[in-house]
């Protein structure tokens, strides 16, 4: 048995002892319960043998054992309560310990940051540096933006160049198709009119019949 | 231990077959017979939650819970003690049985009490470990009595387990570094990790 190793603390030992007591009481109760039921049986057989006084004695014994049982019940309850409060106290201890650790770590971190004044100073410095950076950017900004502008414009032109051919195609297709619509039947009805209207027909086909 | 009345054990059909109770001469048949007996013993003990058998008791006393196992009165056949011992030895090789120490150890002086491991201590240990995990009993101190008879573990598979067997299972856990024991052999306490 590795009975006394470092992992088992004094509290564990105490809980174990308490639980041992509880187990003993538990066992005792079982014995008593067994006895009482036997006592009843004895009384019954004695009564059937017409031995009243001894039957009474057996019943008295039974009564006494029952009172013992009630007492042990109370004790058992006490023990169980104690066990659970010890266990709960242990958990509380753990919680407090955890809080302590947390606070310690927080304090350490704060110490590393070096107090509010230092943080304030740091923030001021940061603002200054940002300001400085802005100034530098502005000074450089003019040149860079002109260069950027040129690039942007160049890109725009390139894009336009890319877009242009496709756009023209659409227009061309539209122009190419539209004149097909009027039929050759018309000259028979009204030759002159058609000649006049023909250039317009590309734009407004529907107007022709009117 | 207070066990609810269990339904009768459904014996396999070999049990009503008279030659099953006679040691077979043919080696292959003998082996098959031993295997059959081994599984019969295991399932019978599992059914009735028997953790250890007393050989003399089971063979002679009809009131013993395991009496029907080796005695089929309906066909008037019984297993001889020597053959039972051979079966137990056969089971021992599979790790499914073990002589209860103290009742005579060693090959020649075999005792009367035998552990029947329908669950080996390792398997019981696994169950206990799982239970400890599931019920949040990690880091808690418990007594073996509490594990086996307590209200907390009522309904778990190892409730009502033979205490000595539970001690064996706990010792398996100790070896794995999952538990630590305190107190004496009689009322062992255990802390789970």
pLDDT at site B106: 47
**Does B107 lie in the same domain as B37?**
yes
Closest to B9 measured CA to CA, from B66, B51, B56: B66
**What domain range is B17 assigned to?**
13-116
Which of B149, B181, B189 faces A19 most closely, judged by CB atoms?
Answer: B189
Reported as a single tens digit per residue, the pLDDT across A21-49 is 888 888 898 899 998 999 889 999 998 99
**Does B62 lie in the same domain as B142?**
no
Count of domains for chain B: 2
Q: Can you give the CATH number for the domain in which B168 is found?
A: 1.10.10.10
Residue A204 has pLDDT above 90, yes or no: no
Domain-by-domain residue ranges, chain A? 10-113, 114-167
Instruction: Collect all residues of chain A within an 8 Å Cβ-Cβ radius of residue B176.
Output: none
pLDDT class of B101 with cuts at 50, 70, 90: confident
Query: Among residues 129-188 of chain B, which lie with CB inside 8 Å of chain A?
Result: 140-143, 145-146, 149-150, 174, 180-185, 187-188
Lowest mean pLDDT among A58-72, B104-118, B127-141, B148-162: B104-118
CA distance A15 to chain B (A): 7
**Does B125 lie in the same domain as B112?**
no
Residue B168, domain member (yes or no): yes
Q: Comparing B100 with B169, which gets the higher pLDDT?
A: B169
Interaxial angle between packed helices B121-134 and B163-175, expressed in degrees from 0 to 180 and rounded to the nearest 10: 80
pLDDT at site A93: 92
**Does B36 lie in the same domain as B94?**
yes
Average pLDDT, chain A: 80
Reported as a single tens digit per residue, the pLDDT across B22-37 is 899 999 999 999 999 9
pLDDT class of A166 with cuts at 50, 70, 90: low
Among B116, B133, B149, give the residue marking a domain's end. Answer: B116
Lowest mean pLDDT among A87-101, A111-125, A137-151, B147-161: A137-151
Residue B189 and residue A166: Cα distance in Å, rounded?
89
CA distance B159 to chain A (A): 15
Instruction: Collect all residues of chain A within an 8 Å Cβ-Cβ radius of residue B148.
Output: none
Q: Which of A9, A10, A12 to mutate to test the interface with B (most CBs of B within 10 A)?
A: A12
pLDDT at site B7: 80
**CA-based nearest residue in chain A for residue B171:** A1
Annotate B77-132 with DSSP letters as a single string: EE--HHHHHHHHHHHHHTTSEEEPTTS--SSSS--SEEEE-SS-HHHHHHHHHHHH
Is the Cβ pair A19, B180 closer than 8 Å?
no
Whether residue B99 contacts residue B111, with contact meaning beta carbons closer than 8 Å, is answered with yes
Mean pLDDT of A141-156: 79
**Does B125 lie in the same domain as B105?**
no
Mean pLDDT of A177-200: 57
What are B142's strand-pairing partners?
B190
pLDDT at site A193: 52
Backbone angles phi, psi at A166, to 5 degrees: -65, -40
pLDDT class of B123 with cuts at 50, 70, 90: very high
- At a CB cut-off of 8 Å and minimum separation 6, what does B134 contact? none
Residue B8, domain member (yes or no): no
Among B116, B139, B160, give the residue marking a domain's end. Answer: B116
A82: contact with B, CB 8 A cutoff: no
pLDDT at site B32: 92
Whether residue B59 contacts residue B85, with contact meaning beta carbons closer than 8 Å, is answered with no
Whether the predicted interface score ipTM is above 0.85: no
pLDDT class of B104 with cuts at 50, 70, 90: very low
Residue A192 has pLDDT above 70, yes or no: no
Instruction: Collect all residues of chain A within an 8 Å Cβ-Cβ radius of residue B140.
Output: 87
Residue A132 has pLDDT above 90, yes or no: yes
Residue B108, domain member (yes or no): yes
Annotate chain B with DSSP letters as a single string: ---PPPPPP---GGGG-GGGGS--SSHHHHHHHHHHHHHHHHHHHHHTT--EEEHHHHHH-TTSTTHHHHEETTTTEE--HHHHHHHHHHHHHTTSEEEPTTS--SSSS--SEEEE-SS-HHHHHHHHHHHHHHTT-TT-EEEHHHHHHSSTTTTSTTTT--HHHHHHHHHHHHHTTSEEEES-STT-EEEE-
Residue A8 and residue A17: Cα distance in Å, rounded?
13
pLDDT at site A97: 95
CA distance B62 to chain A (A): 24
pLDDT at site B108: 42
Q: Can you give the CATH number for the domain in which B25 is found?
A: 1.10.10.570
**Does B24 lie in the same domain as B91?**
yes
**Does B107 lie in the same domain as B25?**
yes
**Does B146 lie in the same domain as B58?**
no
Residue B75, domain member (yes or no): yes
Length of chain B equals: 193
**Does B107 lie in the same domain as B85?**
yes
Residue B79, domain member (yes or no): yes
Among B116, B134, B155, give the residue marking a domain's end. Answer: B116
Whether residue B144 contacts residue B115, with contact meaning beta carbons closer than 8 Å, is answered with no
Residue B143 and residue B139: Cα distance in Å, rounded?
13
Residue B25, domain member (yes or no): yes
pLDDT at site A170: 53
Give the number of C-alpha atoms closer than 13 A to the C-alpha of residue B21, restricted to the C-beta side.
20
Reported as a single tens digit per residue, the pLDDT across A167-184 is 555 555 555 555 666 666
Instruction: Collect all residues of chain A within an 8 Å Cβ-Cβ radius of residue B183.
Output: 1, 3, 16, 20
Is the Cβ pair B182, A4 closer than 8 Å?
yes
Residue A140 and residue A143: Cα distance in Å, rounded?
6
Q: Comparing A14 with A103, which gets the higher pLDDT?
A: A103
Residue B37 and residue B182: Cα distance in Å, rounded?
39
């Amino acid at each position: 048995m590795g009975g006394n190793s470092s992992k088992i603390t004094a509290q564990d030992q105490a809980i174990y002892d308490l639980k041992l007591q509880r187990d003993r009481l538990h066992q005792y109760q079982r014995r008593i319960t067994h006895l009482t039921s036997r006592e009843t049986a004895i009384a019954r057989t004695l009564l059937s043998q017409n031995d009243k006084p001894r039957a009474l004695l057996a019943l008295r014994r039974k009564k006494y054992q029952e009172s013992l049982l009630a007492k042990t019940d109370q004790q058992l309850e006490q023990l169980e309560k104690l066990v659970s409060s010890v266990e709960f106290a242990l958990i509380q201890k753990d919680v407090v310990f955890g809080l302590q650790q947390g606070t310690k770590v927080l304090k350490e971190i704060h110490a590393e940051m070096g107090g509010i004044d230092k943080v304030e100073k740091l923030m001021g410095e940061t603002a200054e540096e940002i300001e400085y950076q802005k100034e530098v950017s502005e000074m450089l900004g003019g040149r860079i933006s002109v260069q950027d502008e040129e690039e942007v414009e160049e890109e725009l032109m390139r894009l336009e160049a890319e877009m242009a051919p496709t756009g023209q195609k659409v227009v061309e297709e539209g122009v190419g198709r539209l004149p097909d619509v009027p039929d050759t039947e018309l000259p028979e009805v009204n030759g002159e009119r058609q000649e006049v209207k023909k250039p317009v027909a590309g734009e407004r086909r529907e107007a022709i019949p009117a | 231990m207070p066990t609810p009345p269990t339904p009768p054990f459904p014996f396999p059909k070999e049990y009503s077959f008279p030659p099953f109770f006679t040691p077979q001469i043919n080696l292959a048949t003998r082996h098959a017979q031993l295997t059959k007996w081994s599984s019969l013993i295991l399932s019978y003990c599992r059914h009735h939650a028997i953790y250890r058998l007393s050989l003399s008791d089971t063979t002679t006393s009809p009131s013993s819970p395991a009496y029907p196992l080796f005695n089929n009165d309906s066909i008037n056949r019984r297993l001889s003690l020597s053959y039972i011992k051979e079966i137990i030895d056969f089971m021992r090789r599979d790790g499914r049985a073990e002589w209860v120490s103290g009742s005579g150890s060693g090959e020649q002086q075999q005792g009367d009490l035998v552990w029947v491991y329908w669950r080996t201590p390792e398997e019981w240990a696994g169950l206990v470990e799982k239970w400890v995990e599931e019920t949040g009993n990690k880091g808690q101190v418990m007594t073996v009595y509490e594990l086996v008879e307590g209200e907390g573990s009522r309904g778990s598979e190892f409730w009502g387990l033979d205490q000595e067997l539970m001690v064996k299972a706990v010792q398996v856990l100790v070896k794995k570094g999952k538990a630590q024991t305190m107190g004496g052999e009689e009322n062992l306490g255990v802390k789970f990790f």
